[in-house]
Structure 1
């Protein structure tokens, strides 16, 4: 796929991994098959926040991410996994729905890791976003304040995932079951997103 044809969205600023909210959302799904077939809808009132507007906004955001995962087996096992396994699935959905996060991981974070440069700051994301503006006119209307918020939320995702601690990149604990499902779906790139070595990839 030619990158210029990919439309970047920065709507991920609605929230980082949103684990607690997504747990509530997925718990309310009675049949993953019906959900993915479009025959089951989830009420926004299941989202555990107070404001009605926030419930609707977060429900809409979570729904996009869950649909992007597009894997009944992963979602059926979601509630039985530990926190790390759940977070892996959530980040997988984010990377699938938001190519800008996937590309940041592959073009910036992975390259830093390979070059033994473990420092990661908000400016690494904002600079990445500015570079992408030359190829993505849809990014050119974003304000500086919004660009900075994008960087904050992107790094918060990595903190929640266990890949960033005190602005230092590190590997997170992986779930082989989750990663095998990602590979079976053809998304081998997710192993690179998680900074796995060639030996670790082969073990998956």
Structure 2
């Protein structure tokens, strides 16, 4: 039997948090302490610690080139990089983007429906025993935050209409991601043709 990767749903506590992610990345690059209580936790120590842990988890997947791009890139590049790191950190979001959004985009279907999400969730539920212990409240939160992250990352227009937004990815960013592993370009909805082209 093939062993299935365990899903981590801790993203429900933090959404994309791009500004805070850049703040943490800067503190790491400059080797400085961050005031996580005030800068990340809104004055609460436990919230700040949790946010710092989640953001460090995402940043840990970055190559030095990607970290540099996060700090000096334009807003679109920063959003896209932040989103790729979310996909690297949380398999559920990665799979939803690659298996649902990207597949729909390839056949020019730009609308994400509740049915798309439910079908995906049920399929994964059968493969991931850790999902059996999720409460109804947690399931609702997972759906809510998943779509919020897609909106914040610019992959959909908004959480209400959920229209997929094809991505224009800067060549420098594409090369940087491809040098690490071109597979991750799929999370930005890049076609196989363009992925092969950037690898040459």
The two structures have a TM-score, normalised by structure 1, of 0.83
Q: Tell me the equivalent position of 1:181.
A: 176
Task: Determine the C-alpha separation between the residues in 2 that align with 1:162 and 1:107.
Answer: 18
Query: Cα deviation per residue 1:29-85 (whole Å; 9 max; x = unaligned)?
Result: 245xxx7xxxx875524634423222111111101111123x112112321111111
Name the counterpart of 2:83.
Answer: 91
User: Which residue matches 1:63?
Assistant: 56
Contact 1:162 1:170 in 2 (8 A): yes
Specify the alignment match of 2:28 in structure 1: 29
> Is residue 96–residue 102 contact of structure 1 (8 Å, CA) maintained in 2?
yes
Q: State the partner residue of 1:150.
A: 142
Give runs of aligned pairs for residues 47-126 of structure 1, distance below 5 A: 47-52=39-44, 53-69=46-62, 71-121=63-113, 124-126=116-118
**Matched residue pairs, number?**
193
* C-alpha RMSD of matched pairs (Å): 2.2
Which residue does the alignment assign to 1:200? Answer: 194
Gaps of 5+ in 1: none
- Offset of residue 198 of structure 1: 4.4
Tell me, yes or no, if the aligned pair for 1:163 and 1:170 is still in contact at 8 Å: yes
Does structure 2 conserve the Cα–Cα contact (< 8 Å) formed by 1:23 and 1:79?
yes
- Over 3 Å counting, the alpha-carbon distance change for 1:17 and 1:54 in structure 2 is same
Structure 1 residues 130 and 41: alpha-carbon distance in aligned structure 2, compared to 1, 3 A threshold: farther
1:123 and 1:151 mapped to 2: Cα distance? 12
Q: Structure 2 length as normaliser, TM-score?
A: 0.85
Q: 1:170 to 1:111 in 2, by over 3 A?
A: same
Q: Which region of structure 1 is more displaced relative to structure 2, 87-96 or 108-117?
A: 108-117
User: 2:185·2:195 contact (CA, 8 Å) conserved in 1?
Assistant: yes
How many Å separate the matches in 2 of 1:7 and 1:184?
Answer: 26
Q: Which range moved further: 175-184 or 112-121?
A: 112-121
Do residues 12 (structure 1) and 6 (structure 2) align?
A: no
